[in-house]
Amino acid sequence: MKILTQLSDMYTFTPNEKSIASYILTHKERILHLTVQELAKVTYTSHSAINRLTHKLGLSGFKEFIIKLALEFQQNTQNISNVDPNYPFSLGESSLQVAKEIAELMKETIEKNFAFMDDDLLSQTAQLLDRAERIFIYALGDSQIRAKSFQNKLFKINKYVVIATELSEWAHHTINLTPRDCAIFLTYHGKSPSYIKVAQHFRRENIPFITITATNQSELANLSTICIQVPNDEVKLAKIGTFSSQIAFDYVLNVIYSCIYKIDYLKNMQTATESFKKFYANDMMNDV
C-alpha cells in the first residue's frame, strides 16, 4: 500500500501521529526537504513520535520514509505527465508547440530531480569536491558535454578538473589518482564494464568517487562513496534525443557547483572578480 494512502487512513494513529500525518499530507511540496528535527518542530511532536509512525508504516525509520515518499511522488508525476521524455514532440506539430513541450519536459524533469535531492548528501558531495586536490570526471557522449560545462564553472573558482575520458586516456588518469583526489562518474545507466573496473580500483585504493546516475542500485552505484540519483525516464535506444537525462545532469551539476561555491562564498567571488580584472588588464596591455 502506498505511503500517502496509509497516512490518509488514520484510525489506528495516536493524536501525535495524526498531527504528523496531517502535516505531511497538506505540505507534500515541503516534506522531502525537512529533517526529522524540523518535522517534529512544525508538528509540535518529537523525534520518537515520528519514528514510531514510520515503523507503523512498515519502514525502518525516517530516512527510508523520505526515500520511499520521493519515489512515490516521482511515480505520481510520471503518471500525470503529458510529455513523453523519449518522444516529447510529434510529426506535424508547429514550432511553437514543440517549444512548449520542450519547456514542459525541462520543468517536469527538474521537479522530479528536486524530489530526489537530500540536504546531507548535497553537503557531503560539495565538501568532498571542495577538499579534493584534483577532480577527475568520467563521462562519454552527450554526458561529456555536461561534464565540460561543469569543468568550466569549477575552473573559475580555481579547481583543478580533468575530463578523464576526453582523449581515451582514462586508464592513465585512473592509475594516477590518489586518496586526496576525487572522481565523478556521469552515467545514466551506470552499466559500463570499464567504469565498474575503475570503480573497483578506486575502492581498493581508498579513492573517493561520486556517481550521478538514474540507476542507483547498479554495481557502480553500490561501489560509490556517494551516489546521486536522477529520474529514470528514458528508454535506452528508442528516443529522439537525450533531452531528459541531459537536463537532469545539467541541473544536478549546477546544484553541486553552487553548493561548492557557497562553502567559501566571498573568497570564490573575489577569485572570479580578480580573474576577470587580470584578463582585461592583459588584453588592454596587448592592444597598446
* Mean predicted lDDT score pLDDT of the chain: 86
The pLDDT value given to residue 2: 74
Instruction: Return the pLDDT at 240.
Output: 63
pLDDT value of position 24: 86
* CA 146 from centroid of its chain's CA atoms: 13
Confidence at 29, pLDDT banded by 50, 70, 90? low
Identify which has the larger pLDDT, 273 or 209.
209
- What pLDDT is stored for residue 125 in this prediction? 97
pLDDT tens-digit map of 147-173 = 999 999 999 999 999 999 998 788 999
What pLDDT shows up at residue 27?
80
DSSP 32-74: TT--HHHHHHHTT--HHHHHHHHHHTT-SSHHHHHHHHHHHHH
The fraction of the chain above a pLDDT of 90, given in percent, is: 45
Task: Summarize the confidence of residues 185-200 as an average pLDDT.
Answer: 93
pLDDT per residue as tens digits for the range 243-267: 888 999 999 999 999 999 999 988 8
Instruction: Report the pLDDT value the prediction gives residue 80, as an integer from 0 to 100.
Output: 47
Reported as a single tens digit per residue, the pLDDT across 73-109 is 766 655 545 677 777 777 788 999 888 888 888 888 8
Are the CB atoms for 266 and 274 separated by under 8 Å?
A: no
Q: Quick: pLDDT tens for 45-84.
A: 999 999 999 998 888 888 888 888 887 776 665 554 567 7
Q: Specify the pairing of strand 209-213 against strand 135-138.
A: unpaired
Contacts of residue 245, defined as CB under 8 A and 6 or more positions apart, other chains included, come to 142, 143, 188, 214, 230, 233, 234
Angle among Cα 50, 52, 56 to the nearest 5 degrees reads: 115
pLDDT (mean) for 115-143: 92
Which position has the higher pLDDT, 112 or 20? 20
Look at residue 9 and tell me whether its pLDDT is greater than 90. no
